[in-house]
Structure 1
Amino acid sequence: MSRHFCFCIPVRAGVFLFSLLSFALSTLCAGLGWILFHLIETNQLSKIEDKMTQSDKEAFENAVHKYKWAVILGSIIFTFVALISFFGFVGSIVRNRRMVKAYSFMTVISFLLTSFAAGFVLYATYSHKPFCVTIDGKETCTNNNLSVGEKIGVTVGIVIQWLIQLYIVTIIRRYYRQLEDEREYRHDFRLNPTGAGTYEAKEGLLAPQAAAYPYADAQHSFGSHA
């Protein structure tokens, strides 16, 4: 039986859409990360510094050279997410349980990491401690100057985003459970798939036909000859 979300949309369609968007966005981020890494390695950062002031250029170049490992790590992570999202996309099309399971596991890990990041943002929003970064022995600090209304807006936005991500994880898990139930159903009743969402039994599910009642034959009936 097909499961749904938002009252009427099949969870399979949700996985198809979410995996496609995840694949597109993560591929874009991974591509930008690898391009930035190439520019760092070939000393061509000037190609993306046209609209920066001289001080901003120096700060940007110092930061990306010092934290080049973060650029590499981020590019690898987004590449991995793009790959798993592609598995989920293909899995939703061909109804492959293992591909959808891998995509579901990745979304759970991503949700946990995002929740940790959201908690850190909320802490930084309500904390009055300055955030400092040291580059080449020079410390730069930024202070939290948000008003009460801005803090509430940030909090509401983070909570809404967290709930949406949780709902997406639930939808993907629900579709994976649907594929699991279908696999168990086919195994229990020895069914073969004959089409998208349809199955054909190797043996009938109804009780075998009972033997004919002997006294129902004409020769055993009395009728008008009684």
Structure 2
Amino acid sequence: MGAKYLCCLPLRLGVLLISLVQFFASALVSGLLTFVLVREAQGRPVFENNDHEEVFFHFSSRTKTVGIILAAVYGFVALIAFTGFVGAIRKRASYVRVFSSLLQGSLALQVVLVIAYFVLYFADKDEFKKICIGQSTDQKVIDNCNDLNKGKNVWAFVVAAIIPILSQAYGVYIVSSYAKKLRNEEFLDQESFGFKGPGYAPVSEESHPLTHQGPYPYADNSHSFGGKA
């Protein structure tokens, strides 16, 4: 029986689902960023608001650069995720390993960002409030940001930060386990195809001469057929 996750589902199915979701999500983000950047560069409206008014964006050169980099990064992630999807379909360990490395790197980056948010949240609460409020003048937003350090909001913040990490870590476990499984299967296949039966030692004339050395025993009449002793 193959390896399972969530008690009964095969690892291969898990990799297929994870890579497919990652591909569509990353491709969607990359596509949206590209769409917004192109529309802004053309001076055309990006969307219409609830009042059917056209909304235009005007980005600074720095914002455009960041947007282009993010669109390229998400496009690259989508490509790697598609590679993992193909690897799961065709059972290619190398493809799945590439996707596994991407997830591991993403998990490490996510952990670093969460730690940075925790440090900022608990060590410099005033700065965190400023980041939370941003340029908003909505009193509800301001009140919610000011209440983040109170009671249940602290636990809500911690849980909201940890749950994505745990889910990402479980995804890394599934993909890496399947990559290891495929690698072991490829190793066993190579071993079986490369199996060689017992060899035969070469026989040299010195150890086993092909001709009899010395006098031929049946040349003597006493040893020959029909001879008399």
TM-score greater than 0.5 by the shorter chain: yes
Give the structure 2 partner of residue 151 of structure 1: 154
Matched, 1:189 2:192: yes
> 5+ unaligned residues in a row in structure 1: which ranges?
134-138, 192-201, 205-226
| Per-residue CA distance 1:46-95 (angstroms, 9 max, x = gap) | 3336359x9xx79x635x65411111111001100110010111111110
- Normalised by the size of structure 2, how large is the TM-score? 0.70
Q: 1:42 to 1:20 in 2, by over 3 A?
A: same
8 Å contact kept, 1:118–1:158: yes
Q: 1:183 to 1:47 in 2, by over 3 A?
A: closer
Give the structure 1 partner of residue 85 of structure 2: 89
Query: Please, which of 126, 129, 139 is the counterpart of residue 129 of structure 1?
Result: 126
Same amino acid, percent of matched pairs: 26
Larger radius of gyration: 2
Q: 1:117 to 1:49 in 2, by over 3 A?
A: farther
> In structure 1, what is the Cα distance between the partners aligned to 2:70 and 2:14?
27
8 Å contact kept, 1:40–1:65: no
Q: CA deviation at 1:151?
A: 1.9
Q: CA deviation at 1:148?
A: 2.6
> 5+ unaligned residues in a row in structure 2: which ranges?
198-229
Matched, 1:48 2:43: no
Matched, 1:39 2:47: no
The two structures, once aligned, show a CA RMSD in angstroms of 2.9
SS of the equivalent of 2:82 reads helix
8 Å contact kept, 1:87–1:103: yes
Give the structure 2 partner of residue 12 of structure 1: 12
SS of the equivalent of 2:159 reads helix
Give the structure 2 partner of residue 98 of structure 1: 94
> In structure 2, what is the Cα distance between the partners aligned to 1:49 and 1:150?
34
8 Å contact kept, 2:33–2:71: yes
8 Å contact kept, 1:5–1:11: yes
Bigger strand share: 1
| Per-residue CA distance 1:116-140 (angstroms, 9 max, x = gap) | 222233334333132568xxxxx95
Q: CA deviation at 1:160?
A: 1.5
SS of the equivalent of 2:58 reads helix
Q: 1:49 to 1:122 in 2, by over 3 A?
A: farther
Matched, 1:29 2:29: yes
Count of residues in correspondence between the two structures: 183
8 Å contact kept, 2:36–2:46: no
> In structure 1, what is the Cα distance between the partners aligned to 2:46 and 2:18?
34
8 Å contact kept, 1:24–1:82: yes
Deviates more, 1:139-148 or 1:83-92: 139-148
Q: 1:157 to 1:140 in 2, by over 3 A?
A: closer
| Per-residue CA distance 1:166-210 (angstroms, 9 max, x = gap) | 01101100000001100111122228xxxxxxxxxx889xxxxxx
> In structure 2, what is the Cα distance between the partners aligned to 1:65 and 1:48?
21
Q: CA deviation at 1:40?
A: 2.2
SS of the equivalent of 2:49 reads coil
Matched, 1:169 2:172: yes
Give the structure 1 partner of residue 103 of structure 2: 107
> In structure 2, what is the Cα distance between the partners aligned to 1:49 and 1:107?
36
